[in-house]
Amino acid sequence: MIPLPTVLSDSTHGIMTHFGMVTVRITDDEGNEGLGYTYTVNAGSKAVACLIEEDIKPILLNADEDCIENLWQKSWWHLHFVGRGGIAAFAIAAVDVALWDLKARSFKTPLWKLMGGNNPKVKAYAGGIDLQMPIDQLLQQTQDNLAKGLKAIKMKVGREKLSEDIDRVRAVRELIGDDITFMVDANMIWPVDVAIQAARKMADYNIHWLEEPTNPDDITGYARIQREGGVPIAAGENFHNLEEFRHLISAEGVTFVEPDVATCGGITPWLKIARLAESYNLQVTSHGVHDLNLQLLAAIPNGSLLEIHGFGLERFLKNPITFVDGYTTASERPGHGVELDFELLAQYQTK
Ligand SMILES: [Mg+2]
């Protein structure tokens, strides 16, 4: 478990002080190495690591590392009875990202080019995890994020009273003015009727999207909130397979599709989700692990905003991403270009 640089809070996970991280390194016969990782909140990291070690590793040993789809299918169906998503999707994701990184590195090409190569320049936003932050601190955080060069921000909503949320949204919009893109994230907390009421009130503040207004399993609820609330909906961080995305997208319950490559089964299903969204003329945004997601959004034609996630992984990275005028740029380094400082991470390692 890795301590967070600051205490974080949202409506569902409460107060967060640590996160779990599971890393995978795969080497080929020529000595090339691929790196993958996933993360957990509050629970599950040891179980994810155990699935990789006990159940996925035997599938990979002596296999052709270039046949990623085949290895993904074998892993998925090997774990299917206890999987179909959940922690199996996290475990497969870490391995799948490592295999894609390995392939791109062995081809000496950046991952975003191997995956299609659309545009390395991606607009980014600061994803605040700030529900319980006092309002003066929330405004300070907002100013700090704008000072970093970002032109888009997101804050948490879902406090005890909706009026508190509206007051905080108003204060932030007044601070940032009309030109900054502004999103809100309820982390699934509201019943559908409250979500519709909240969306209608927040529409006054030019909200770019309302994220996860209710339980992600309530597909018809999402469709109602989007239709009746009048604000575009973002969702997907709690989906762990392609089919869950298909259900929500085909029900017109989402506008900004938000798969997390570290938790949806990896790059292999992520690409299918992106193509599915494209076929519905929808944009794809990201969740978590922004250093990886930057590569993915740069690969596709329907990429939207990149979330700069608040877990502070940049402390352990050799090349953290930077921002110019609201944008960041995918690197030209081979693979995904992310190098973790394993020496620094060693102090948090558990068996
Ligand atoms: Mg979210």
* 351 has pLDDT over 80: no
Out of 201, 208, 287, 309, the active site residue is: 287
**What homologous superfamily is domain 113-329 in, according to CATH?**
Enolase-like C-terminal domain (3.20.20.120)
* Confidence at 156, pLDDT banded by 50, 70, 90: very high
Cα–Cα dist 266/258, whole Å: 13
* Confidence at 289, pLDDT banded by 50, 70, 90: very high
* 50 has pLDDT over 80: yes
Dihedral angle, C-alpha 127, 129, 131, 135, nearest 10 °: -70
User: What is the CA(309)–ligand 1 centre distance, in A?
Assistant: 10
User: What is the CA(211)–ligand 1 centre distance, in A?
Assistant: 6
287 vs 13: which has the higher pLDDT: 287
The maximal CA–CA distance of the chain, rounded, in angstroms, is 60
Q: Whole-number mean pLDDT of the chain? A: 96
pLDDT digits (tens, 9 = 90+) for 91-110: 999 999 999 999 999 999 99
CB atoms within 10 A of CB 116: 14
pLDDT at 250: 98
User: What is the CA(67)–ligand 1 centre distance, in A?
Assistant: 32
User: What is the CA(316)–ligand 1 centre distance, in A?
Assistant: 23
Q: Is 156 in the active site? A: yes
CB atoms within 10 A of CB 331: 20
pLDDT at 295: 98
* Nearest to 256, CA basis, from 125, 88, 85: 125
% pLDDT > 90, the chain? 90
* Confidence at 5, pLDDT banded by 50, 70, 90: confident
- Domain borders along the chain are 2-108, 113-329
Single-letter code of the amino acid located at 33: E
* 342 has pLDDT over 80: yes
pLDDT at 1: 87
Q: Which long-range contacts (CB under 8 A, 24 or more apart) does 311-315 make?
A: 311/2, 311/4, 311/8, 311/19, 311/39, 312/4, 312/5, 312/6, 313/289, 315/5, 315/344
Q: Which residues surround ligand 1, an ion (CB under 5 A)?
A: 185, 211
Average pLDDT score over residue span 164-169: 98
* 255 has pLDDT over 90: yes
Out of 154, 156, 201, 290, the active site residue is: 156
pLDDT digits (tens, 9 = 90+) for 168-203: 999 999 999 999 999 999 999 999 999 999 999 999
Is the fold of 2-108 the same as that of 113-329? Answer: no
User: What is the CA(62)–ligand 1 centre distance, in A?
Assistant: 38
Instruction: Kindly report whether the global pTM for this prediction surpasses the value 0.85.
Output: yes
Q: Which CATH class is domain 2-108?
A: alpha beta
Cα–Cα dist 238/2, whole Å: 21
User: What is the CA(327)–ligand 1 centre distance, in A?
Assistant: 20
pLDDT at 11: 85
pLDDT at 16: 87
Q: Is 13 in the active site? A: no
